Amino acid sequence: MKSVPVCSIILPENKAGRNKEMITLKNKIEIIISAYRDGESERSIARRLELHRITVKKYIQEYEKKLLELSTAGEIHERREIIGELLEKPKYKSAGRRASKGTEEVKEKIRTILKENEEKAKSGRRKQQMKGVDIHKHLKDSGYDISYPTVANIVRAENGYINESFIKQDYEYGEVCEFDWGEVKLSIGGAEYKKYNMAAFATGKGFRVKAYIFEKQETQSFLEAHAEYFEDVGGVYKTMVYDNMKVAVKKFVGRNEKEPTEALLKLSLYYGFRFRFCNVRRGNEKGHVERSVEIIRRAAFAHKDRFENLEEVNSYLAEKCKELNQKPKKYNEGKSAEEIFLEEKKYLHTSKPKYECGEKRESRVDKYSTIFINTNHYSVPEEYTGKMVDVIVYSNKLYAYYEGIKIAEYDRAVGNGKWQLTLEHYLKTLSRKSGALNGSVVLKQAAGEIRSIYEKYFIQKPKDFVELLSYMKEKNKSMKEIEKSIEIIRKITPFDISKDKIIAVCEKGEEHRPQNSNNTEEHSKALLREAELLKEAV
């Protein structure tokens, strides 16, 4: 066999005359965290990671540059762009790669199926589990050359039970925080009970808990939960611990190696924490948070499970977590989790500005002056009809921007085919077609006070009502000011309340509003003068 010359396998050289190096986002994260969190020198990092020092220095300098830009950034769009560049993956060519296939890959496929079997059993679908013969057929259909006995042996080995001993853990301050998901059934806004997802955090030291409720267990919720948590605690732990949840683990590589999702890698790089995963089907390896999910669920929702909206749920949940954290615990030597956290906070890594994790989309405003997001419609001001707008979508909120200026914001609609419309977005159209107001969807969705005023005083004069709303928008008048003006008019002419009188009273009230005074006599005289002026206006 002909030997291959050594020179033919030397990597091509870059301008500095050294071999090109390919590093992953995980390498980049390790470089940044080692330099900033651990204070390790560039030379030491390069030696440990088997990289050239110039490569290490390059990524540290790029990171420092983006941090400086972020500290002086203004608008949300500018921050999003900088954060995106900060978390960018190292680029290199990957053409010609081939996927590996082997026994370990087959085992991971089987483990995934067995985990799905566990989930089916928990949800009452035991009869839909895949047995050994089904798993074998599935693998054969997927192109794997494997015998049934081999599959059966792997299944038996994976299902084998071994008695375990547990090792008591004692963490250092600021060392570890654990994360997990839990499910709760709630009724929100009078709807039937449905499952919501609770993102729960528990500290290794002191067992301090914090949780947030989301509609879905998805990447967006995962990112928002971490951004909120680090903002709440005012710092970042050295290590975050996860089980094999889909939002954190992209795929298995071998028996114990897991490839993290891009979302987790970017989160880790931005905040500067390391992460580790539990072994397969070993949630007990992060027992703090496993237990915290159950404790929080009972403490918060065993007594109350009906709410008006998700904002109310999370406000209530925050109070319940606060109560749990303030209780003295025997395992904390009689101290509460909050007392321990006050000491631990000194050891947390300083947090950066809140991670901007909203998903950016583009949407064209349709003929109804709405944008279409995830099967639901949301209105924007009518002057943007036909234009492309930027939409930042969060798990529970969305914001619409045109050329960097916010033009609308909404709570995300629950369900499909919903329309969320804002009356003031249609004032120009309604001024020309005021008759369309009565019975319109946009009026039905307006605030109760607005509908009440319309039905009491303007149902026969929709054009006047639209002009009143236009005045409110132009002069930035609140509904309370309008209601106060109506009350004054009712005392004088209770059966003749009009748009012109309301506007006149608002204007006179603004011009002659009495100043605050501690002198009762002067204040009374001022109120009498105001009453006379308002009477003249009417």
List of residues 6+ apart from 32 with CB closer than 8 A: 59, 60, 63, 269, 272
Tell me the Cα Rg of the chain. Answer: 31
| C-beta of residue 446 within 8 angstroms of C-beta of residue 473 | no
Answer whether residue 41 shows pLDDT above 80: yes
Answer whether residue 530 shows pLDDT above 60: no
pLDDT of residue 36: 82
Question: What is the enclosing helix (H) or strand (E) of 507?
Answer: helix 499-511
pLDDT of residue 12: 38
Tokens of 182: 């839990």
Answer whether residue 150 shows pLDDT above 90: no
Residue that wins the pLDDT comparison between 218 and 97? 218
| C-beta of residue 243 within 8 angstroms of C-beta of residue 2 | no
pLDDT of residue 128: 62
Taking residues 497-519, report their average pLDDT.
Answer: 69
Answer whether residue 446 shows pLDDT above 80: yes
Answer whether residue 11 shows pLDDT above 60: no
Distance CA 260, CA 89 (A): 13
Q: Considering the chain, what is the average pLDDT of its residues?
A: 81
pLDDT bracket for residue 181 (50, 70, 90)? very high
Phi, psi of 372 (to 5 degrees): -110, 110
Residue that wins the pLDDT comparison between 77 and 378? 378
pLDDT of residue 531: 55
Write the pLDDT tens digit of every residue in 269-278.
Answer: 999 999 998 7
Task: Quote the pTM value.
Answer: 0.66
pLDDT bracket for residue 105 (50, 70, 90)? confident
pLDDT of residue 505: 87
pLDDT of residue 92: 57
Answer whether residue 525 shows pLDDT above 80: no
| Sequence letter at residue 363 | S
Answer whether residue 187 shows pLDDT above 50: yes
Q: Identify each DSSP E strand in 189-238 by its residue range.
A: 194-203, 209-214
pLDDT of residue 8: 32
Taking residues 492-517, report their average pLDDT.
Answer: 73
Taking residues 484-502, report their average pLDDT.
Answer: 86
Residue that wins the pLDDT comparison between 267 and 254? 267
| C-beta of residue 301 within 8 angstroms of C-beta of residue 186 | yes
Answer whether residue 166 shows pLDDT above 50: no
Beta strands 306-307 and 176-188: pairing type? Answer: parallel
